[in-house]
Amino acid sequence: MAGLSINSSIFSRRDGSDPPSVPPCMSVDKLLPALLECFGIILCGYVAGRANIIPATQAKGLGSFVSKFALPALLFKNMVLLDFGDVIWPFFFSILVAKVTVFFFVCILTFLVANRESRFSKAGLFSIFATQSNDFALGFPIVEALYRNTHPEYLQYIYLVAPVSLMVLNPIGFAFCEVQRWRNGEPHQQSKLQVLGLVVLQVVKNPIVFMVVIGVISHFVLGQKIPPFMEEFIDGLANSFGGAALFYLGLTMVGQLKLLTRSTVVALILLITAKLLVMPLICRGMVEVLDCGNRSSMNHTSLSNYAFLYGVFPTAPSVAIYASNYNMELEVVTSGMVISTFLSAPIMYVSAWLLTIPWMDSDPLASALQHVSFNISIISLFALVWSVAVMLLSRKFHRIPHIFTINLFVAQLLVCIGMIAWNFVAEQDNFLGQVLTFTLLYGSLYSTYIWPGLIALSLLLMRRREDVNFRPGLTVIAGWGVPALAVSVLLLTGERLPNAIDSAFFFGKTQVICTSVVLFVSIVLCGVSLTLLSRRTRDYHSLEHRSVSDSEEDVSLPYGTNTPSPVEQPCAIGSINTDCQMCECACGRLQSAPDIISTKEEASVQTGQCSQQCTSTNCLLVEEEQKVADKQNTDIQSTRHVLVCLLLTISLLANLSSCLWWLFNKDPGRLYLELQFFCVVVNYGQGLISFAFFGLDKHLIISPFKKRLASLWHGWGQEVTGSAVSEEIRMTCNQFLTYHKEQCIKDIVHKKRCGKQSTTETFLGSDMVRWLQSVGLASDQGEALEYGSRLLEGGVIQHISLEQGFQDEALHYRFT
């Protein structure tokens, strides 16, 4: 091992010989046109749906035609014509085992993480999401483009493998969904036997399953030949499937990402990782294990590569139909279907390209890997300098878990500096410089592996609402001490490889084993912490819009509930100690109110009416909004840390897969090269993830920028139009004032205290959004927000402090 150069150790066989140059087993030249064809038709469908050329009701009709006529005909035709003699059954069983493995892995993980109220529906639908591929509409054209000229028999595996999900795995998922419905009592209480009967009936009634069974029977009855009187009819229906299915897929994508909320992001990331990363790796691994008796090594390699590409196929849109039928987990499934479809395209193209290129000399490949590392490190370096500066200026670094987050940023920063330095010393004959640079690089890189687990652990202990039982100093020592210990052991026991270019193999096999141990420890720590964190707090990542009245001692309830009379309404925040006797108004004085209200505690105290801008720092309503904002900001910061830990853990899994792939494969192959490039990007591009979540602080960056942009836009609009209020806004305001204002005041406006002896009549932005939808002035939340913004711009309503636009939040507004 020590005698091998780094180049041969990465890109050559483990015996030191280069793999033979063999002709490619697929035609990658036809892949790009096939991808453009498929995604072009999908784009056409999306545009048609977005422009409302084809309404949603008509789209359902097209979906029914595709799923109940065209696809069953296509399956029947191919099952009849299928030649079972050419089937390599180990490949079929490899895909079967891979799908079953992923299905139950997702199912068990969901049961461990999800809350008890919805874990059955999540386990069923999420498992189906991770295993049911879009084999026919998107997968078949791509396989046809790649293998028609070299391995045309591979096309028939699509028709063999697809029923595995439809007939074996999906019924299990449906059973979980029916159990969830039964536990919820929808639509009525059913026995377990009835639930089982419903699942079996649903499977049998599925036209796809039905036609697969009929096709297999007809295969033997008709002797692999469709009768002439049926052939043209079947061909007509089958040939209509391709374009119609892709077009329908585009139609189903319209508006789906709007359903995505922060509360679904974590589940979405895990599901897409399982579908596009775990599934292809397990498919390829199963073929390597079960097809080991293949007499032709070339055919064996081709099948394993085909299995990898098959695993990358995105989720089928029918999974969204299942979620819609059960009315369960619709946000995650529909958003995930859209995202996985578009993420799969570049993965498939890059994978196919790497699989078809002939084996190049190992030196250019290692050099290319080094250049990618250098370039991404420079970009990440700037992002991390910005992120560290924002963290310091925001003064969050002294709080837990931010104190650990800034250590992660520093480690990532040192990794970038180490890689940039390594690029200059790697090819120099300077042993001391290489060792020092390697120590800096891998000491920092191992630290970035450890910190996600420590941050997740700190989040878990904070969520327990107990005193954090560990000292930040000890955690910081662990975050830097463990990597330093690992690098020290590596320097003392490892044997340096000659002519090393890639730092990942500077000490050869010893370094790979050491890296695997560090990765495994961090993955276990982070995974267990995040799992326990999710189980202790069911909605640890939920940032749904809430009304203040649900969590604060507000004077009113949300719109649509019975509200107490103004006389009985207490102070919004009675515990606030304020020295002001009345709310200061923009006019500088308190305006008298025509009414005088009293409470049981203050029956003799007269209160004034505050009707202008609240500028007092002691205004109870302003302080109430600030409390809500602070609580939401805390939740957002917690969610950001969870997402960063989750994404970094996924990168750790990719690194561990790369290490294990190299250790246990005599000939890593060209897909290993793709995995290596991916690991390089995630290792030295971690700063981009940190920047995305922490580099754009709301108070330091976003809010000042938005205010400046709004002022510039307002000034420009006045110059161009000569008026700050457009005709459309005037019409909206006049309509509202004439026909709706009086009723709106009756429904949602409530008198609230804003000082010890002052009140104001306000309403919540969230209540206004619901009211606009209930009276038909808006059909959804988006239209309600737009309508409310027009009223705000037209001067009909205003925020109590004139500092906020109209939002669907627990913010206080009033009529002018």
Determine what percent of the chain is predicted with pLDDT higher than 70.
72
pLDDT for residue 416: 92
Q: How many CB atoms lie within 10 A of CB 399?
A: 11
pLDDT for residue 26: 56
- Copy the structure tokens of residue 659: 């290490």
Mean pLDDT for the chain overall: 74
| pLDDT tens digits, 472-495 | 788 889 899 999 999 998 888 877
Average pLDDT over residues 332-344: 81
Give the separation between CA 608 and CA 542, rounded to whole angstroms: 39
Residue 318 pLDDT exceeds 90:
no
Alpha carbon 805 to its chain's center: 29
Q: Decide the pairing of beta strands 812-815 and 750-755.
A: unpaired
Average pLDDT over residues 159-168: 78
pLDDT band at 689 (very low <50, low <70, confident <90, very high): confident
pLDDT for residue 699: 62
Q: Which residues contact 686 (CB under 8 A, 6 or more apart)?
A: 380, 412, 415, 448, 648, 651
Residue 805 pLDDT exceeds 80:
no
pLDDT for residue 4: 35
**What stretch of H or E contains 676?**
helix 670-684
Identity of residue 407: N
- Copy the structure tokens of residue 379: 């970009």
Average pLDDT over residues 448-471: 76
pLDDT band at 180 (very low <50, low <70, confident <90, very high): confident
Of the given ranges (257-271, 416-430, 521-535, 700-714), which has the lowest mean pLDDT? Answer: 700-714
pLDDT for residue 71: 84
Determine what percent of the chain is predicted with pLDDT higher than 90.
8
The answer to whether residues 796 and 533 touch, using CB atoms and an 8 Å cutoff, is no
The answer to whether residues 290 and 90 touch, using CB atoms and an 8 Å cutoff, is yes
Instruction: Quickly list H helices, 597-619.
Output: none
Of the given ranges (259-273, 434-448, 656-670, 740-754), which has the lowest mean pLDDT? Answer: 259-273
Average pLDDT over residues 116-134: 86
pLDDT band at 238 (very low <50, low <70, confident <90, very high): confident
pLDDT for residue 338: 80
- Copy the structure tokens of residue 574: 């009675």
The answer to whether residues 621 and 614 touch, using CB atoms and an 8 Å cutoff, is yes
pLDDT band at 700 (very low <50, low <70, confident <90, very high): low
- E strands in 665-749: none
Give the separation between CA 372 and CA 545, rounded to whole angstroms: 42
Residue 789 pLDDT exceeds 80:
yes
Residue 146 pLDDT exceeds 50:
yes
Q: Which residues contact 108 (CB under 8 A, 6 or more apart)?
A: none
What DSSP line would sit under 459-493, residue for residue? Answer: HHHHHTTS---S-HHHHHHHHHHHHHHHHHHHHHH
Instruction: Quickly list H helices, 313-361.
Output: 318-326, 330-356
| pLDDT tens digits, 250-264 | 888 777 666 555 556
pLDDT for residue 100: 92
pLDDT for residue 157: 84
Give the separation between CA 598 and CA 581, rounded to whole angstroms: 16
More confident residue, 42 or 501: 42
Of the given ranges (349-358, 491-500, 636-645), which has the lowest mean pLDDT? Answer: 349-358
Give the separation between CA 117 and CA 532, rounded to whole angstroms: 17
- Copy the structure tokens of residue 333: 């499934």
Instruction: Read off the pTM.
Output: 0.63
Residue 293 pLDDT exceeds 90:
no
pLDDT for residue 212: 80
Q: Which residues contact 307 (CB under 8 A, 6 or more apart)?
A: 91, 94, 95, 98, 280, 283, 284, 286, 287
Average pLDDT over residues 120-125: 88
Angle between helices 89-113 and 508-536 (to 10 degrees): 50
What DSSP line would sit under 35-52, residue for residue? Answer: HHHHHHHHHHHHHHHHTT
Of the given ranges (71-85, 282-296, 556-570), which has the lowest mean pLDDT? Answer: 556-570
Residue 574 pLDDT exceeds 50:
no
Average pLDDT over residues 459-467: 68
pLDDT band at 724 (very low <50, low <70, confident <90, very high): very low
| pLDDT tens digits, 576-601 | 333 333 333 333 333 333 333 333 33
What DSSP line would sit under 118-154, residue for residue? Answer: THHHHHHHHHHHHH-B-IIIIIHHHHHHHHTTT-GGG
Give the separation between CA 161 and CA 5, rounded to whole angstroms: 42
Nearest to 359 by CA among 7, 731, 745, 4: 7
- Copy the structure tokens of residue 805: 């636009």
| pLDDT tens digits, 423-438 | 888 777 777 888 898 8
What are the C-alpha distances in Å from 64 to residues 132, 196, 245?
Answer: 19, 26, 10
Scored b (16 or more CB within 10 A) or e, 589-624 reads ebeebeeebeeeeeeeeebbbbbbbbebebbbbbbb
Identity of residue 558: P
Average pLDDT over residues 687-701: 76
Average pLDDT over residues 443-463: 88
As beta bridge partners, residue 760 has 752
Give the separation between CA 419 and CA 501, rounded to whole angstroms: 12
Residue 503 pLDDT exceeds 60:
yes
pLDDT for residue 563: 41
Identity of residue 538: R
| pLDDT tens digits, 17-41 | 444 444 455 555 677 788 888 888 8
pLDDT for residue 102: 92
**Sign of the dihedral defined by the CA atoms of residues 383, 386, 387, 388, in that order:** positive
The answer to whether residues 287 and 293 touch, using CB atoms and an 8 Å cutoff, is no
**What stretch of H or E contains 67?**
none
Strand, helix or coil at 403? helix
More confident residue, 231 or 187: 231
pLDDT band at 764 (very low <50, low <70, confident <90, very high): confident
Average pLDDT over residues 652-680: 80
Question: Count of H helices and E strands in the chain?
Answer: 31, 5
Identity of residue 580: C
Give the separation between CA 7 and CA 304, rounded to whole angstroms: 24
Strand, helix or coil at 54? coil
Scored b (16 or more CB within 10 A) or e, 193-217 reads eebeebbeebbeebebbebbebbbe
Angle among Cα 186, 191, 194 to the nearest 5 degrees reads: 90
Average pLDDT over residues 727-740: 84
Q: Which residues contact 707 (CB under 8 A, 6 or more apart)?
A: none
pLDDT band at 414 (very low <50, low <70, confident <90, very high): very high
pLDDT band at 516 (very low <50, low <70, confident <90, very high): very high
Instruction: Write the DSSP symbol of residue 165.
Output: I
Q: Which residues contact 559 (CB under 8 A, 6 or more apart)?
A: 747, 748, 767, 770, 771, 774
Burial of 83 (0-12, 13-18, 19+ CB in 10 A): exposed
Residue 533 pLDDT exceeds 50:
yes
The size of the chain, in residues, is 816
Instruction: Write the DSSP symbol of residue 70.
Output: I
Top-confidence range, 47-61, 236-250, 260-274:
236-250
Average pLDDT over residues 273-302: 77
The answer to whether residues 541 and 266 touch, using CB atoms and an 8 Å cutoff, is yes
Average pLDDT over residues 99-125: 86
Q: Decide the pairing of beta strands 608-609 and 750-755.
A: unpaired
Instruction: Write the DSSP symbol of residue 559.
Output: T
pLDDT for residue 690: 86
Phi and psi, residue 250, nearest 5°:
-65, -40
Nearest to 768 by CA among 753, 783, 754: 783
Give the separation between CA 400 and CA 82, rounded to whole angstroms: 62
pLDDT for residue 716: 56
Q: Which residues contact 342 (CB under 8 A, 6 or more apart)?
A: 39
More confident residue, 163 or 442: 442
Average pLDDT over residues 566-574: 36
Nearest to 312 by CA among 249, 267, 355: 355
Give the separation between CA 743 and CA 731, rounded to whole angstroms: 19
pLDDT band at 345 (very low <50, low <70, confident <90, very high): confident
More confident residue, 202 or 296: 202
Residue 67 pLDDT exceeds 50:
yes
The answer to whether residues 80 and 269 touch, using CB atoms and an 8 Å cutoff, is no
